[in-house]
A and B are shown apart, each in its own frame.
Chain A
Amino acid sequence: METQIHEIPTQNEQKKEAIIEINDLQKSFGKNDVLKGVNLKVFKGEDVVVLGRSGSGKSITIKCLVGLVKPDKGELKVFGEDIVNYNLEELNAVRVKIGFLFQSAALYDSMSVRQNLAFILQRHRKDLSAAEMKSEIMDVLESVGLEEAVDKMPSELSGGMKKRIGLARTLILKPEIILYDEPTTGLDTITSKEISDLILDIKHKRKTTSIIITHDMDCAKRTADRIVMLKDGVIHTEGTYDELAKSEDEWVNAFFK
């Protein structure tokens, strides 16, 4: 206590506020024990990259955070409150503050880009007039650099454009947390780089906190404040990109080759 009194509340101090806290998260599917006790804290304003082989349970971890998957055991604190036993109403109150970018972007393919975005606004921002909604939509499209796609259907978009629109859709409610599930997987190197830059840009402009799941080491290097590595259902190692790149651990090393 005494030491804290002397400390000046600097930016560093604010950074230590854990926005997401995962304690002993466990999840099995039948005999397949996917998560065996994941512990992870994400601090305000931080971008944490999660690395791990495919099938190691990265997506399941972030799906637990938004209540898409119910954990078998463990604590999931988001904004300081354990959401595991939340009912739907309480969960939805948290969900609107979290953006989730699906690996497949998951755009509603029967709706145009505009309708994809309006769909959410019409249900959560009933206070807005039609004109205000329109300008919100154009603003968010501008921030992902795709204003010209507003009247396109998802089937007319390239993979990279879909990701951007998916990102626009997660941004439209101005979330404080964004969870990215493999934002660059399946894209060419140049597009991947653009998406990574966009993630950085969003972090700086909107002061969001993020968890980014990726296999793309270039994306990890660009976006990560900290990297955690998931292996055999637990967090195997964590550190900055540079720390982990120098690791002696053979398994860790394989990712950074």
Chain B
Amino acid sequence: MIYATYNHYLNLIILIVYLKNKFEAIGDVTLFSWRFFKELFVPPYELKEFFKQCYIIGYKSLPLVVITGFIMGLVLTLQSRPTLVSFGAESWLPGMVGLSLIREIAPVITALICAGKISSGIGAELGSMKVTEQIDAMEVSAINPYNYLVVTRVLATTLMIPILVIFADAVGIFGGYVGMNIHSKITLYRYLAQVFDSLEFLDIIPATIKTFFFGFFVGMIGCYEGYNASNGTASVGRAANSAVVTASLIIFIIDMIAVQITDLFF
């Protein structure tokens, strides 16, 4: 796909610039993330906080994801239509839209929206807890703040963002149907049949796997930036801001790695 190739060259450039500037930070993030796996299975299990975060992260982001998903499907259909029509290949339109949505657009756009909404929210929340010594207060009460704050949130994003992506896929495909019907008449049944005809199981697997990584990093980067906010209220804003920037970049990087691996194996 033209879109994908261009996108991935751009990503490579961004990646190189990013790595150069952030070498130290990468080590820190890695250590911080490693702790997640060490503490994931260590009691106490903060189930209540985990479900609360699932509600906030999953349910509360749903409207935004649904609206953007719909628009993506609609716009993608309308934009691609003239090209396909000029080749006399209009019947490929549902299949193409479905494929682009499920393989690339819905996962990436949803993850980016979540970076903007969730990473920044977590960054600001934990950042202000850090600055007002609430995290220290947990520590001196012999409560593990990493377990309570980070493990719950990262687990919630890792599980909720794939689900949000599935919603975005579904609504996006429906948006495509609406887009199709602006210029021509097609029944929903035929439209869906055409979408699923062109979809293979192997399109769905890598696309789904990468959403778990997106989810993990959306949560992890927000937590990292917040948890490591320095003192002073200004650093709360900075934590939220760099959470969005870093999480967005990482989403592109993962996407690029994912496409290479997919090329290799599928």
Residues of A that sit less than 8 Å from B by CB? 63, 66-68, 91-93, 95-96, 98, 100, 102-104, 106-109, 119-120, 123-124, 169, 173
Beta-carbon contact of A92 and B134 below 8 Å = no
Beta-carbon contact of B140 and A104 below 8 Å = no
Q: Kindly provide the distance from the CB of B120 to the nearest chain A CB, expressed in whole angstroms.
A: 17
Is B139 an interface residue, CB under 8 A from the partner? yes
Knowing A96-B142, A120-B141 touch, does A68 contact B44 (C-beta < 8 A)? no
Is B30 an interface residue, CB under 8 A from the partner? no
Residues of B that sit less than 8 Å from A by CB? 44, 129, 132-134, 136-137, 139-143
B133: chain A residues at CB < 8 Å are 102-104, 106
Q: Kindly provide the distance from the CB of A26 to the nearest chain B CB, expressed in whole angstroms.
A: 21
A98: chain B residues at CB < 8 Å are 140
Please pick, from A66, A100, A109, A120, the residue contacting B143 in the complex, using a CB distance under 8 A.
Answer: A120
Q: How far, in whole Å, are A232 and B239 apart by their CA atoms in the complex?
A: 34
Beta-carbon contact of B142 and A95 below 8 Å = yes
A-B contact pairs, 29 of them (CB 8 A): A63-B136, A66-B139, A66-B140, A68-B136, A68-B139, A68-B140, A91-B142, A92-B142, A93-B142, A95-B139, A95-B140, A95-B141, A95-B142, A96-B141, A102-B133, A106-B132, A106-B134, A106-B137, A107-B134, A108-B129, A108-B134, A109-B132, A119-B143, A123-B141, A123-B142, A123-B143, A124-B142, A169-B137, A173-B141
Q: How far, in whole Å, are A96 and B142 apart by their CA atoms in the complex?
A: 6
B132: chain A residues at CB < 8 Å are 104, 106, 109
B141: chain A residues at CB < 8 Å are 95-96, 120, 123-124, 169, 173
Q: Kindly provide the distance from the CB of B141 to the nearest chain A CB, expressed in whole angstroms.
A: 5
Q: Lowest 3 CB-CB distances: which A-B pairs, in order?
A: A92-B142, A106-B137, A106-B133
Please pick, from B44, B137, B140, the residue contacting A123 in the complex, using a CB distance under 8 A.
Answer: B44
What is the chain A residue whose CB lies nearest that of B137?
A: A106
A124: chain B residues at CB < 8 Å are 141-142
A91: chain B residues at CB < 8 Å are 142
